[in-house]
Structure 1
Amino acid sequence: MKLTTMTKGFSKFVLRTSVALPLVLAPAVSVTVLEAVGVSAPFAQADAAEETRKVPAMRENVFKKLGKVQEAADAENWPAALQALREMESGADKYNAYERAQMYYFYGFVYYSMERYKDAINAYKKVLAQGVENIPVGVELNTLKTIAQLYFVTEDWSNALNYLNQWFSRADTIGAADYALRGQVYYQAGQEGKALADINKAVSMYESEGKVPKENWYGLQRYFYFEKNDYKKVTDILEKLVKHYPKGEYYKQLSGMYGELKREKDQLHMMEAAYIAGALEKEKELLNMAYLFMGNEMPYKGAKVIKKGLDEKKIERTSKNLETLAQAYQMAQELQKAIPQLEGAAKLSDKGELYSRLAGIYLDLDKNEQAVTMAKRALNKGSLKRPDQLYIVLGMAQANLKQYDDALETLKKALKDERSKKFAEQWISYVENEKKREEQLAI
């Protein structure tokens, strides 16, 4: 069994099949309360410090109509809100640009709430079409970002980037979440270099403030560096994921990365952590855990993993798996536990090789009758790699049982193979002498 190749390809499979997809962010829109003293509406999201534009005033009749829309929106009665907006729009030619912008902003929110995203995009574009000089700076920025996010929702990556980059070029304050959002859009657009730069920026901004970055930010980082074959970076990121977002999948992935970096002890410890966490459920994963223990001179732990997997029916009771369990017990010097497992494996095998091994084990334990039985079963099944060696074992067991004639007949068959000829001749001489001695004693 080649323990050095047991985890080959493991980390690649895990990482390529578990990349965290970007999270879709809800558009930055919300309906606010229309207060008795004036209009809040969506424009209340604007930062007062940014209000450097003098926008047209809102008249009382328009305010009342928006109040009707607000009332329906508060009740989440979207058809009623839409109807109220349509009634407003019928007289839109009498409104000033600011009033129309307010109306279309509400339109955008209602359409968004109804999941009519394309209509929402068109409505928000009409907000901008009223002229940026007629709307607050904060609302202009918020509308640009909202359109970008809606294009993200509809998987129009090109337009999402267009509007998001417009927002980046105008915004005074750009947060980590903004870089993360754009990084996700770049990722979806296939621009992985720019995506990585933005995700790295988002992560570094959070970490510099002593905050823990979002799990999916780390996930994208990990994916990009893995694609660049930068396993050291992938390992660093996975160590953070294990620390801040401990999950069995991350333990397994980190174990795989330690394997790629030839950090065998760390690989074993992290895989054991995954096992303890109950993250190893599949047969291959459990066997891989056992092989790691066996390869790191902890065969009894490996045997326990396989035995538990067999008992829980997570590992199939095949000849190969039982043989591996027997091998683990043998490596742990637990021959009494190894024998029944090897016998079970031998019964399931269509070859005599395992019975041949059992014959040798029984001979070493001075259980000659069992050695003879196993050797004969091996010969009956056939397909032996070294039948000459088995003849030697069988002949020795027969000799120990004082079955001298049978032993001589068996050992002579071993003479046919040059590799065993010398040893067979020595045993033949020994058996002949013992036979003569026994015969003389009987006189």
Structure 2
Amino acid sequence: MAKRLKMLMLAALLAPAGALWAQNGAIDARTFDQLTKAQELAAEDRHDDALYILDRLKERGRLNSYATAQLWNFYAFIYASRDEYQQAIDAYFKVMEQEDAPNGLVLTAKYTIAQLYFQMEQYGDCIRFMNEWLETADKPTPTAHIMLAQAYYQTHEYDRAMTHVDDALALERAAGNRVQEGWLRLKAVLSYTKGDYASTAQTYEELISLYPNSTYLRQLAGMYSETGQGGERLAVFDALYEHGALKTESDLLNLAYMWQGEQVPYKAGRIIEQGMAKGAIEESPKNVESLANAWAQANEYEKAIPTLSKAAQISGDGLYYARLAGVHFNAGDYAAAAEAAIQADQQGGLKNPAGNLMLLGMAYFNDRKYEPALQAFRRAKQSRDTFASANKWESYTLKEIERIRELSRSQDELEQRTREAIESRENNLNAIGIGS
């Protein structure tokens, strides 16, 4: 900002040289030569030497109003170049006090005063002088509107700030120029500060199209989250992932969870699996469990079971054995489900031990091991949360046991009758002399 300010002031300093100074004899030859010399010294950053010449000219006291305006313009430039902003502002005020000061010089003075006040963080004064400049300038510049926008932002006048940002962007686009990155960033900040997340997202979309950057993609994803555009947020994060911009564990897991939320667990599993292979995701019990859950949701039981078994072995926590029991159960391996549920029961630390007992009972039931199933359901009845469900399963199991017993009795009776019928037939045949 300071460097750009100095370049602007130097351009303003050089502009009046030659034809403008000599115009209508407004400056005598001696004064012209001295100002030219001061200009050359100032351009070389020999400020003390330039000030010496200006001081001598001022002390002569024979300068007309036009020449005096030029003199103070030089003073202002040198003071500003030395970061003596208040003295530079005072000098520019003296430029504007001169009756014959050229209109262009007065406008430049107002513009530069506004910039200097901005540098001094006196934003109210900056706003006042920049607005004065805008009112009289033939062709307001985009940069003037941006400075006003920045000043209004600092004074928390966000609506006015946004108006001037939009004016700057409109002027720049009308000129066929690519809008500056910083201007769009300011618009995004203003929109976000005002709580207009949709507009913020649109601005980040433009930033990404003009200045591709993974940071903007992340911020755009955040805005999509704020506006409830989950699908768009996922698309942005996935684009970051495909371009290798997601490297941290939290980012990778976040993307995996988003895919699970969209009912695409297989992709979630691949992301976690590859993250672990690259060392980006720690193979902690919790992360291994997340991987196993993704595989289980994708019905990839051949991958889910060994993965969850690994988590259970690493942690020794009953919770993981309980999860493993559930995966085995869903895969239809009821014997393995019962074995894992027993491990979970023995290890302890379960959030829902009664639920594990219910699963154990159902695994035994489906494996046709009814007596152990009854024991599991009766233990589950001790919990208020599972009492009703366990009671129903207990009754159902008892009925199944009775049905099997009845079936067995019927089978025995049938076999007995069959044997008796065969024996009776053989006896009858023997009685009539047909039998063997």
> What is aligned with 2:16?
44
Structure 1 stretch displaced more, 401-410 or 214-223 = 401-410
Q: Could you report, residue by residue, the CA deviation over 1:284-315 in whole angstroms, capped at 9, with x for unpaired residues? A: 43332222211222222222333344445544
Change (3 A) 1:410 1:252: same
Counterpart amino acid of 1:135?
A: A
1:23 and 1:330 mapped to 2: Cα distance?
A: 60
> What is aligned with 1:105?
73
> What is aligned with 1:121?
89
Counterpart amino acid of 2:173?
A: E
Q: Could you report, residue by residue, the CA deviation over 1:91-125 in whole angstroms, capped at 9, with x for unpaired residues? A: 24232233332232222222222223223222222
> What is aligned with 2:190?
224
- Would you say the 8 A contact 2:304–2:327 is kept in 1? no
The equivalences for 1:199-210 within 5 A come to 199-210=165-176
Change (3 A) 1:45 1:310: farther
Counterpart amino acid of 1:124?
A: Y
The match for 2:126 among 160, 172, 194 is 160
- Would you say the 8 A contact 2:76–2:91 is kept in 1? yes
Work out whether 1:422 is the aligned partner of 2:389: no
> Aligned with 1:134: secondary structure?
coil
> Share of identical aligned residues, percent?
32
The equivalences for 1:5-44 within 5 A come to 26=5, 29-31=8-10, 41-44=13-16
Could you list the runs of 4 or more consecutive aligned residues of structure 1 that deviate by over 6 angstroms after TM superposition? 53-56, 396-408, 428-434
The match for 1:68 among 24, 31, 37 is 37
Whichever structure has more helix as a proportion of its residues is 2
1:336 and 1:299 mapped to 2: Cα distance?
A: 15
Counterpart amino acid of 2:167?
A: K
> What is aligned with 1:240?
206
- Would you say the 8 A contact 1:54–1:134 is kept in 2? no
Work out whether 1:59 is the aligned partner of 2:38: no
Which structure is higher in RCO with an 8 Å CA cutoff and minimum separation 6? 1
CA root-mean-square deviation:
3.8
Counterpart amino acid of 1:118?
A: Q
1:149 and 1:289 mapped to 2: Cα distance?
A: 45
TM-score normalised by the chain length of structure 1: 0.76
The unaligned stretches of length 5 or more in structure 2 are: 413-436
Structure 1 stretch displaced more, 140-149 or 251-260 = 251-260
Structure 1 stretch displaced more, 412-421 or 231-240 = 412-421
- Would you say the 8 A contact 1:249–1:279 is kept in 2? no
Work out whether 1:304 is the aligned partner of 2:283: no
- Would you say the 8 A contact 2:378–2:390 is kept in 1? no
Work out whether 1:77 is the aligned partner of 2:46: yes
Work out whether 1:271 is the aligned partner of 2:250: no
Q: Could you report, residue by residue, the CA deviation over 1:335-382 in whole angstroms, capped at 9, with x for unpaired residues? A: 232234433444566852321121232355565675455323312332
- Would you say the 8 A contact 2:276–2:283 is kept in 1? yes
> What is aligned with 2:288?
322
Aligned pairs, number: 402
- Would you say the 8 A contact 2:13–2:77 is kept in 1? no
1:170 and 1:364 mapped to 2: Cα distance?
A: 78
> What is aligned with 2:423?
none
- Would you say the 8 A contact 1:222–1:238 is kept in 2? yes
- Would you say the 8 A contact 1:326–1:338 is kept in 2? yes
1:333 and 1:23 mapped to 2: Cα distance?
A: 63
- Would you say the 8 A contact 1:388–1:420 is kept in 2? no
